[in-house]
């Protein structure tokens, strides 16, 4: 079946072009991942990150595809864009002007997107300036500096380079979403994580060979990964179907018979967005705190340790942020009142529930329970493996967050490919039924 599905891909010119375009854009991203920021000694920086295994730096580095540890032009990754999107979505609820733009449809959304881009550049510039100061303060055990020629010239070049790199990734993601297949921003994060998995496997084998990592524990970890992947696939494809009945109705002189259908509600409506948003929010202050000299402000190191993966405060904030963004993002993309109104207009109703406001309240109640279940599932998948891995000193690429992104984004992308195949009467990858995406 998979072979027939792949054959069908190359028999559809539009789908083939979209996939090739997506692969080409991701290849451009990986090429840029080997272009360093001017004035940085990459060898000394690599030595520093070898000693930072299992810390916040390695966790942040996972989301950037190791661009941060190599100080490339994409060192900030796509995180400033995600942070800017979060800020704009939060402001949309409290700022009347943004709320008005949101209700204006496509034109209003274009304006909000423009504000998001401006915010991305501002955040990337601030973070780039912090990184430039931090790089200037780094040195090897022998006293050799990471930055060969520190000063405002280096800082200005670093800010411009990193901000431009983030802006380019933002544009790249938008192009993939529009002209390729899948969500561009998610695919960029996905590509960065997948590209570093071979390196993580090699590092793990080396740890086992020197006896630093127990082979039995590694087998247990692999088994746990398989279980987590299975749980992700099951939960991401799970949904609650609400029965919808349509009464007989007259349209002009024509009578339409009653029918029955279903309203599918996903258990995890928000997908991988909550963990990504939560990580971005938590890592932003922790990253800024790490740039301040610990000698002058001793409490900074204490804050950094609290906000490092594996620490109790970090995990507590992480779970709280996941729950918040699960409910927040679900509320943004799914409005029970609009669904109830549409059902009422077309003569649809849920058996035993009156049309209108009671239907809206019922859908909201069911959706809230599903969202709570989805938030619990995301928290368990993201937290438990990361805590165990932080104790075992295994690369973060095997953690729950990384697996969730890889499996989730992969399922979303394959569901879009499946939709193109089925829409053009080709056999999909699944013989009976179709691969269901998260949204």
Domain of residue 369, CATH code = 1.10.3370.10
pLDDT of res. 191: 84
Q: Please say which residue of 124, 157, 180 terminates a domain.
A: 180
Residue with tokens 């006293």: 143
| 76 and 169 fall within a common domain | yes
Any domain includes 203: no
Q: Which residues contact 27 (CB under 8 A, 6 or more apart)?
A: none
| 2 and 99 fall within a common domain | no
Any domain includes 95: yes
Whole-model pTM: value is 0.73
| 168 and 307 fall within a common domain | no
Report residue 425 as tokens: 């009467």
| 377 and 408 fall within a common domain | yes
Q: Please say which residue of 160, 180, 200 terminates a domain.
A: 180
pLDDT of res. 439: 45
Parallel/antiparallel/unpaired status of strands 254-256 and 249-251: antiparallel
| 329 and 414 fall within a common domain | yes
Q: Please say which residue of 125, 160, 180 terminates a domain.
A: 180
Any domain includes 254: yes
Instruction: Give the domain extent around 255.
Output: 1-13+211-439
pLDDT of res. 4: 55
Per-residue pLDDT of the chain (439 residues; tens, 9 = 90+): 455 555 666 677 777 788 888 889 888 888 888 888 888 777 777 777 766 554 556 667 777 777 777 778 888 888 888 888 878 877 877 778 877 877 777 787 788 888 888 888 998 888 888 888 877 777 766 667 777 777 888 888 888 988 998 899 889 988 888 888 878 888 888 888 888 777 777 777 777 777 766 777 777 777 877 888 888 888 888 888 888 877 766 556 666 556 677 788 888 888 777 887 787 677 666 656 655 655 666 666 676 667 666 677 777 888 888 898 888 888 877 878 878 888 777 777 788 778 888 888 888 888 889 999 989 988 888 877 666 666 655 555 556 677 778 887 888 788 777 777 776 655 555 554 445 544 4
| Cβ count near 437 (within 10 Å) | 19
pLDDT of res. 1: 47
9 by Cβ neighbours in 10 Å (0-12 / 13-18 / 19+) ranks as middle
| 1 and 54 fall within a common domain | no
pLDDT of res. 394: 56
- The number of folded domains in the chain is 2
Any domain includes 48: yes
| 73 and 145 fall within a common domain | yes
SS (H, E, C) 145-194: ECECCCCHHHHHHHHHHHHHHHHHHHHHHHHHHHHCCCCHHHHHHHHHHH
| 222 and 315 fall within a common domain | yes
| 172 and 308 fall within a common domain | no
Cα distances (Å, whole numbers) of residue 60 to 76, 78, 269? 9, 11, 25
Any domain includes 121: yes
Any domain includes 206: no
**Measured on CA atoms in the order 121, 126, 130, 133, is the torsion positive or negative?**
positive
Any domain includes 27: no
| 293 and 378 fall within a common domain | yes
Q: Which residues contact 224 (CB under 8 A, 6 or more apart)?
A: 385, 388
As a whole number of angstroms, the distance between CA 209 and CA 232 comes to: 31
As a whole number of angstroms, the distance between CA 50 and CA 315 comes to: 24
Do residues 190 and 409 touch, judged by C-beta distance below 8 A?
yes
pLDDT of res. 372: 92
| 163 and 216 fall within a common domain | no
| 61 and 94 fall within a common domain | yes
Any domain includes 185: no
């Amino acid at each position: 079946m998979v072979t027939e599905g792949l054959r069908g891909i190359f028999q559809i010119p539009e789908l083939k072009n979209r996939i090739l375009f997506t692969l080409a854009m991701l290849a451009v991203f990986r090429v840029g991942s080997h272009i360093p920021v001017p004035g940085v000694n990459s060898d000394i920086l690599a030595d520093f990150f070898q000693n930072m295994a299992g810390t916040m730096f390695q966790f942040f580095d996972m989301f950037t595809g190791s661009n941060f540890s190599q100080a490339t032009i994409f060192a900030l990754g796509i995180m400033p864009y995600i942070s800017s999107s979060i800020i704009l979505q939060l402001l949309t609820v409290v700022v009347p002007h943004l709320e008005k733009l949101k209700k204006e449809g496509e034109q209003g959304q274009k304006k909000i997107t423009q504000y998001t881009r401006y915010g991305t550049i501002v955040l990337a510039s601030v973070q780039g300036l912090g990184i430039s100061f931090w790089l200037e303060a780094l040195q090897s055990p022998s006293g050799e500096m990471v930055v060969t020629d520190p000063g405002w010239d280096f800082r200005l070049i670093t800010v411009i380079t990193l901000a431009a790199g983030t802006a380019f990734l933002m544009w790249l993601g938008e192009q993939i979403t529009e002209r390729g297949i899948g969500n561009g921003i998610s695919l960029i994060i996905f590509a960065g994580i997948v590209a570093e998995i071979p390196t993580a496997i090699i590092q793990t084998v080396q740890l086992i060979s020197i006896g630093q990592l127990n082979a039995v524990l590694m087998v247990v970890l692999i088994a746990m990964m398989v279980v987590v992947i299975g749980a992700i696939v099951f939960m991401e494809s799970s949904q609650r179907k609400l029965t919808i009945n349509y009464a007989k109705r007259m349209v002009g002189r024509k009578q339409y018979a009653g029918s029955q259908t279903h309203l599918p509600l996903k258990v995890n409506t928000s997908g991988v967005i909550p963990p990504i948003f939560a990580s971005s929010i938590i890592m932003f202050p922790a990253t800024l705190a790490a740039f301040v000299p610990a000698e002058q402000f001793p409490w900074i190191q204490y804050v950094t340790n609290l906000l490092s993966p594996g620490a109790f405060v970090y995990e507590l904030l992480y779970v709280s942020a996941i729950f918040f963004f699960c409910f927040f993002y679900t509320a943004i993309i799914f409005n029970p009142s609009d669904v109830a109104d549409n059902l009422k207009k077309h003569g649809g109703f849920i058996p035993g529930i009156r049309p209108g406001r009671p239907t809206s309240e019922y859908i909201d109640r069911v959706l809230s329970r599903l969202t709570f279940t989805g938030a619990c599932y995301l928290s368990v998948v993201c937290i438990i493996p990361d805590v165990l891995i932080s104790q075992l000193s295994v690369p973060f690429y095997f953690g729950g967050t990384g697996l969730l992104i890889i499996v989730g984004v992969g399922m979303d992308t394959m569901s879009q490919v499946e939709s193109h195949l089925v829409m053009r009467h080709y056999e999909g990858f699944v013989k009976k039924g179709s691969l269901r995406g998260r949204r």
